[in-house]
Copies of this chain bind each other. A is one copy, B any other.
Amino acid sequence: MRLSPPSWQRIEQASQWNAVYAGSEANVSASCCKLGMAATHVTVLPDDEIGEAAASTLRSYGINTAQVQRTPGRIGIYFYENAASVRSPKIIYDRFHSCFANIKPGSVDWEEAMAGADWFHWTGITPAVSEGAATVCKEALLAARKKGMKVSGDINYRRVLWQYGKSAREVMPEMISYCDLLVGGLEDFKNCIGIEDTSFEKACEKIVKQFPSVKKIATTHRETKSASHQFVDAVLWSKNSLLKSSRYELFPIVDRIGAGDAFMAGLIVGELSGKTDQQTLEFATAACALKHTIEGDVNLASAEEIESLMQNNNTGKLLR
């Protein structure tokens, strides 16, 4: 559950908060549905009205929620203060002790959950929140591998989350070893798998050597002039070469959150729809750019809008 003060109010000023139900993996699922794929989301939500509201949001995107567990407890919350110009936007996390962190190993029937699925996606946030979540995530990865599904992982290292006694370096390498497609940057590589390099390209070479299943690695790059004015582009390492995307100017930024998830969903949809690597990269980067214009965590841009932006058609022109 994300709570944000309206417009550019500070947290101290807010007497009304805008609420959306979101999360990194849910954002990817929603975006995939929006782009025409079917997606099943596996998570744990409270068995109360808050959990119902969250499930209802997932369903509204067309996400299959049959695998959403409902247990007593709380939902993870984060407070997001939007900002403009020289002020930085800010997140305050309140996500410990959630239902999801308390997920029970073995509680998901992955056979059933993955029936008919071609792709499994996970992020580094899940193994970070609790040992149980890490274990369940590993169960999923093994099941996905067994079924021959493609696997993507958004490494997404967040130092503040690894508090249950194990480090990312202990947990992540095995999980990464099951992946075909990674999204991550140099900091993630250092913290999760101990690979350090100042060149993304060289780091990728080391990774694929160490993790033979990994075939593609991507990351976005953001240049930040101010909270309102930024540039974004991306790279995709594939088949020993580094592809570069177009670069987008974003001004103003409507909502800073979920851009990485929009990029991830763009990569998955590109891969699943048989685009070339360069097309996939361009599609994912344009998706990422458009997300910055949309309120909330989820990228509600359509494939048509993304393609129109890629082709530089009608950017910003009034459509009738």
Residues of A participating in the B interface, judged by any CB pair closer than 8 Å: 3, 6-20, 48-50, 52-53, 56-57, 59-62, 74-75, 77, 79, 81, 83-94, 96-97, 158, 160, 224-230, 248-254, 256-257, 289-290, 292-296, 300-301, 305, 308-309, 314-320
Contacts and interface: CB of A to CB of B under 8 A. Distances in A.
Nearest to A18: B16
Contacts of A254: 8, 84-85
B14 A16 contact: no
Given A49-B11, A52-B12, A315 B86 contact: yes
Nearest to A308: B88
B300 A13 contact: yes
A250 B85 contact: yes
A89 B160 CA distance: 37
A7 B295 contact: yes
A8 B293 contact: yes
Given A228-B251, A254-B84, A318-B256, A8 B294 contact: yes
A15 B19 contact: yes
B50 A79 contact: yes
Contact of A315 (B77, B226, B315, B318): B226
A253 B85 contact: yes
B160 A87 contact: no
A88 B316 contact: yes
Contacts of A81: 49
Which 9 pairs between the two chains have the least Cβ-Cβ distance? A227-B316, A60-B60, A87-B293, A11-B49, A226-B316, A56-B60, A90-B319, A12-B53, A91-B320
Contacts of A97: 96-97
A10 B299 CA distance: 11
Given A8-B295, A84-B293, 11 more contacts: A3-B17, A10-B294, A11-B50, A13-B295, A77-B77, A85-B252, A87-B294, A90-B320, A224-B316, A228-B252, A229-B251
